[in-house]
C-alpha cells in the first residue's frame, strides 16, 4: 500500500480550502440572508441550512454503496461540485423549494466529498499517521472557513449578499479544478459486505464512538445557531469580531497539532481530552458573560470541535480495511450530522421561548458525561 501521499494531501487539501473559503464560510450568512433579505421566517431559513445536514445524514449512511458505484475519485469530484453549486442556488434562487433543493444537493455531495477524500488519504497513509493526515485536511478546512468568514464579510459590507454568494460559487469552481488534479488511486477494494459491516457496528466500541460523535454534533449545532446571538445579547454586537475568531483559531491549531498527538497517545485519550475541554468551555459560556471568559469558552469549544471528530476518523482507520472503510465511516458520522441538524432546527424553533444559556448548560453536562464514560472505557481497555 502507498504510504507517501504528499500529492494526495496537497491537492485534496487545496480543494477543501477553496470549497470552505466559499460555500463552507457562507453558512453563517445563509439564515440571516434568507430571513432578512428574502422574507423567510427564522424557522424556514433554519430549515434550509439544517436540510443540508439532514440530507447529509441519509446519504452518508449509504455512502459505502455510492462510492462502490462511483469510485473514490469521481465521488470526490462530484462532491466538491455540489459544494460549488449551493451558493449559486442561494444567489439565483427565488423560492423556498429552490433553496431546499440546493440544500439537498449539497447534502448529497458533502458525504461524497468528505468520505471519498478522507478514505483516499487513509488508504495512502501509514496506520501510524491516520490522525495526522486527516488533521491536515481538517486544519485546512478550519483555516479556509476562518479566512473566508472575514473575506465574505468584507464583500458583504461593500457589495451585499448577492456578491457574497456569487464569490463563494467562484471559489467552488477553483475547488473543482484542484480536485481534478488529485491522484486517481486504484486501491484494491471489495464490494461493501453488509455482514462484515454489521459485525463492526454491533460492537460495544463502535456504539460508544457513535454516541460520542452524536454528543459532539449536538454541541456544534447549538454553537452554530446560538453563540452569535448570545454574544450580542450579553456583550454587544461590537464584541462579535473579537470573540468568534477564537473558535476557528482553536480548531486550526487543534487539527494540525491534535492529529500528531492522537497518533502518539491513542484515540481514547484524545476523545477524553476533547470532551473535557468542551465541557469546560460550555460551562463557562453558561455561567459567565464577560467577554474575556467567552473568548476562552470559544477557544475550548473549538478544541473539542476539532479533535473529537479527528479521533473518530482515526478510529475508523484503525478498525477497518480499505473495502469497509467508507461504509463504517458513513454510518458512524451520519449520527454526528443528525445531532448537528437537530440542534440547528430546534434552536430555530424554540428561539422565542428559551435562551442560549439553558442549551449551553445541558450540552456541558452531556460533554462532561461523555468524558467520564471515555475514562471508564479507557480503564477497561487497559485491563
> Three cell numbers at 199?
459485525
Mean pLDDT value of segment 80-93:
90
pLDDT of residue 353: 43
309-331: pLDDT as tens digits = 888 889 888 888 887 788 888 88
222-240: pLDDT as tens digits = 676 667 777 777 788 888 8
**Position 191 in a domain:** no
Residues 320, 276 share a domain: yes
Give the whole-angstrom CA distance, residue 116 versus residue 330: 10
**Could you tell me if 24 and 138 are in contact, meaning their C-beta atoms sit under 8 angstroms apart?**
no
**Position 381 in a domain:** yes
Question: Among residues 123, 146, 180, which one ends one of the domains?
Answer: 180
pLDDT of residue 379: 46
pLDDT band at 69, cuts 50/70/90?
confident
Q: 88 versus 353: which is more confidently predicted?
A: 88
Question: Among residues 124, 152, 180, which one ends one of the domains?
Answer: 180
Query: Cβ neighbours of residue 296 under 8 Å, at least 6 residues apart?
Result: 246, 281, 284
pLDDT of residue 86: 92
Give the whole-angstrom CA distance, residue 315 versus residue 302: 20
Residues 173, 280 share a domain: no
pLDDT of residue 359: 64
Residues 225, 167 share a domain: no
**Position 248 in a domain:** yes
Q: Count of domains in the chain?
A: 2
Residues 167, 92 share a domain: yes
**Position 353 in a domain:** yes
Range of the domain at 348: 200-383
Residues 146, 24 share a domain: yes
Largest CA distance in the chain: 61
pLDDT of residue 195: 67
pLDDT of residue 383: 40
What's the Cα-to-Cα distance from 173 to each of 10, 72, 82, 176, rounded to whole Å? Answer: 17, 19, 10, 5
Mean pLDDT value of segment 78-84:
94
Residues 291, 142 share a domain: no
> Three cell numbers at 148?
473566508
**Position 315 in a domain:** yes
Q: What is the mean pLDDT of the chain?
A: 83
> Three cell numbers at 93?
434562487
**Position 364 in a domain:** yes
Residues 224, 163 share a domain: no
Residues 216, 145 share a domain: no
pLDDT of residue 2: 44
Give the whole-angstrom CA distance, residue 5 versus residue 9: 6
2-55: pLDDT as tens digits = 446 788 999 999 999 999 999 999 988 888 888 888 888 888 888 888 788 788
The proportion of the chain whose per-residue pLDDT surpasses 70, expressed as a percent, equals 85
Which CATH number goes with the domain that contains 75? 1.20.1250.20
Question: Among residues 127, 149, 180, which one ends one of the domains?
Answer: 180
**Position 144 in a domain:** yes
Residues 212, 268 share a domain: yes
Radius of gyration of the chain from its Cα atoms, rounded to whole angstroms: 20
Residues 170, 210 share a domain: no
249-308: pLDDT as tens digits = 999 999 999 999 999 988 888 888 888 888 888 888 877 888 898 899 889 988 988 888
**Position 266 in a domain:** yes
Residues 162, 27 share a domain: yes
pLDDT band at 334, cuts 50/70/90?
confident
Residues 117, 25 share a domain: yes
Amino acid at each position: 500500500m502507498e504510504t507517501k501521499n504528499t500529492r494526495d494531501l496537497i491537492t485534496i487539501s487545496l480543494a477543501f480550502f477553496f470549497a470552505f473559503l466559499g460555500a463552507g464560510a457562507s453558512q453563517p450568512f445563509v439564515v440571516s440572508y434568507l430571513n432578512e433579505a428574502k422574507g423567510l421566517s427564522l424557522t424556514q431559513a433554519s430549515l434550509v441550512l439544517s436540510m443540508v445536514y439532514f440530507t447529509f445524514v441519509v446519504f452518508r449512511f449509504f455512502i459505502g454503496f455510492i462510492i462502490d458505484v462511483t469510485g473514490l475519485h469521481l465521488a470526490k469530484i462530484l462532491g466538491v461540485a455540489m459544494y460549488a453549486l449551493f451558493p449559486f442556488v442561494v444567489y439565483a434562487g427565488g423560492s423556498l423549494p429552490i433553496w431546499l433543493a440546493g440544500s439537498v444537493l449539497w447534502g448529497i455531495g458533502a458525504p461524497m466529498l468528505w468520505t471519498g477524500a478522507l478514505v483516499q488519504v487513509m488508504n495512502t497513509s501509514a496506520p501510524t499517521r491516520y490522525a495526522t493526515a486527516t488533521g491536515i485536511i481538517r486544519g485546512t478546512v478550519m483555516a479556509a472557513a476562518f479566512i473566508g468568514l472575514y473575506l465574505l464579510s468584507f464583500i458583504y459590507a461593500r457589495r451585499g449578499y448577492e456578491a457574497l454568494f456569487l464569490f463563494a460559487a467562484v471559489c467552488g469552481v477553483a475547488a473543482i479544478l484542484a480536485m481534478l488534479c488529485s491522484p486517481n488511486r486504484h486501491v484494491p477494494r471489495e464490494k461493501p459486505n453488509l455482514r462484515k459491516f454489521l459485525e463492526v457496528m454491533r460492537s460495544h466500541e463502535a456504539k460508544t464512538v457513535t454516541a460520542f460523535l452524536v454528543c459532539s454534533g449536538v454541541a456544534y449545532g447549538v454553537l452554530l445557531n446560538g453563540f452569535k446571538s448570545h454574544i450580542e445579547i450579553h456583550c454587544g454586537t461590537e464584541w462579535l469580531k473579537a470573540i468568534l475568531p477564537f473558535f476557528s483559531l482553536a480548531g486550526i491549531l487543534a487539527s494540525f497539532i491534535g492529529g500528531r498527538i492522537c497518533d502518539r497517545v491513542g484515540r481514547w485519550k484524545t476523545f477524553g481530552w476533547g470532551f473535557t475541554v468542551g465541557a469546560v468551555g460550555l460551562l463557562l459560556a453558561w455561567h459567565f458573560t464577560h467577554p474575556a471568559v467567552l473568548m476562552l469558552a470559544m477557544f475550548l469549544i473549538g478544541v473539542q470541535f476539532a479533535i473529537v471528530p479527528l479521533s473518530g476518523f482515526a478510529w475508523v482507520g484503525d478498525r477497518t480495511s480499505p473495502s469497509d472503510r467508507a461504509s463504517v465511516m458513513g454510518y458512524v458520522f451520519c449520527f454526528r450530522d443528525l445531532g448537528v441538524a437537530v440542534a440547528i432546527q430546534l434552536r430555530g424553533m424554540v428561539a422565542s421561548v428559551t435562551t442560549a444559556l439553558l442549551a449551553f448548560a445541558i450540552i456541558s453536562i452531556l460533554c462532561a458525561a461523555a468524558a467520564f464514560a471515555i475514562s471508564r472505557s479507557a480503564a477497561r481497555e487497559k485491563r
